[in-house]
Amino acid sequence: MSDTLLQATGIEVTYGTTRGLLGKPGGGHKVLHGVDVHIGRGETVGIVGESGSGKTTLGRALLRLVNTSAGAIRFDGADITHLPEPRMRPLRRRMQMIFQDPMASLNPRHTIRRILVEPLLLHRLAADARAAERRVAAILERVTLPAVVLDRNPHELSGGQRQRVGIARAALLEPDFVLADEIVSGLDVSTQAQVLNLLKELSADLGLSMAFISHDLSVIRAVCDRVYVMRHGRVVEEGPCERVFAAPASSYTRMLLDAIPLPEIDPEWLTRRTESEDAA
């Protein structure tokens, strides 16, 4: 059994292809230009880039949420690139996602109980509603949420609590792989630290592989083993975090790192320019 859980090669994603009168596809805007990523078992891989880099699209392509116009995706050895949706569904239990805005990713008209219990029943991880409730109670404790949230709607919870529900939902199905898409952007520094800690613990407990998408290199450093740096739909650098952050090979990575202001006085930071800085 190979060490690689998820392997994507030559991924291309094109949006907005139109069909001409004769059925020939035309137009369209290519968002990913032949991207290769691989994620090993138990590994946390960061995908970093600025807006327009394609990192979010890549994440969704890996989960087969958007269609690829080229390339192949293998999950646990099986080719899932063109797997029809009905055959994809049982696999979905093993590939979960945590979203950036829990306000948008939790249905406002559902209770937390429903949000957490239904997936368990769907995948028959619990025999009945009562068994499901037990498992839900256990995960709530794990993410330090009080049991009272079960009867509430998402808008009645705080931002940090909502994010924990999102994490609980993903972990509940005991997946092999989790995609975390900008899950701490917009959180206070203290809440961010709590969420990152929780994620690391859960990941270790469940032996998760994770793809952590972020625009913030500092956050990536805190949680990831390896990192992919993306720009304009391509991977410009890849490697273990230690190496990439200490000695970046790509000038773009250097520019990204240099642009981050650290909370220490650095009189040259403002005037220091790294190569290939384009004016906005």
Partner 1 sequence: MTAPLLSISGLNAVSDRDGGAPILRDVSLTVARGEVRGLVGESGAGKSTIAKALLGILPRTVRVTAGTLAFEGRDLLKLPARELRDIMGSEISLIPQDPQTALNPGRRIEAQLTDGLRMKRGLSAREAHGRALSLLEEVHIREPERVLNSYPHELSGGMRQRVLIAAAFALEPKLVVADEPTTALDVTVQKQILRLIRGMQEAHGTGVIFVTHDLGVVAQICDTVTLLYSGKVIEEGRTADVLASPRHIYTRALIAAGPRYDRPDAGLTPVPAAVFEELRREIAAGGGR
Partner 2 sequence: MAELALTTPTPKAPSRAAKRLRALASEPKVIIGGGFILVLIVIAIFAPFVAPKDPLEQDLMAGTLPPAWVEGADPGFLLGTDDLGRDVLSRLIFGTRIALIVAFVAAGLAALIGTLLGLMAGWYGGWADRLISRLVDIWMAFPPVLLSILLVAVFGSGVHSVIAAIVIIDWTRFCRVVRAETQAQAQMDYVTAARTIGFSRLKILFSEILPNVTPVLIALVSLEMGIAVIVEAILSFVGLSVSSDTPTWGGMIAEGRQIIYEGWWVLVAPLIALFATVLAFNQLGDGLRRALDPVMRR
Q: Does 104 bind partner 2 (CB under 8 A)?
A: yes
> Of 110, 111, 82, 116, nearest to 96 (Cα)?
116
Q: Does 194 bind partner 1 (CB under 8 A)?
A: yes
Smallest distance, Å, CB 80 to partner 2?
A: 13
Query: CA 34 to CA 48: how far, in whole Å?
Result: 17
**Helix, strand or coil for residue 193?**
helix
Site residues (CB under 8 A) for partner 1, limited to 239-258:
241-242, 245, 255-258
Query: CA 20 to CA 27: how far, in whole Å?
Result: 9
Radius of gyration from C-alpha coordinates of the chain: 20
- Residue 222 interacts with, from partner 2, partner 1, none (CB under 5-8 Å by kind): partner 1
Number of CB atoms found within 10 A of residue 10's CB? 14
**Which of these segments, 26-34, 132-140, 146-154, 202-210, binds partner 2 (CB under 8 A)?**
146-154
- Residue among 90 and 261 whose Cβ is closer to partner 2: 90
Smallest distance, Å, CB 49 to partner 1?
A: 9
Binder of partner 1 out of 197, 205, 240, 243 (CB under 8 A): 197
> Of 150, 172, 176, 171, nearest to 161 (Cα)?
150
Binder of partner 2 out of 50, 141, 151, 266 (CB under 8 A): 151
C-beta separation of 31 from 15 below 8 A: yes
**Helix, strand or coil for residue 47?**
strand
Interface positions with partner 1 (CB under 8 A): 50-51, 188-194, 196-197, 200, 215-222, 241-242, 245, 255-266, 269-271, 277, 279-280
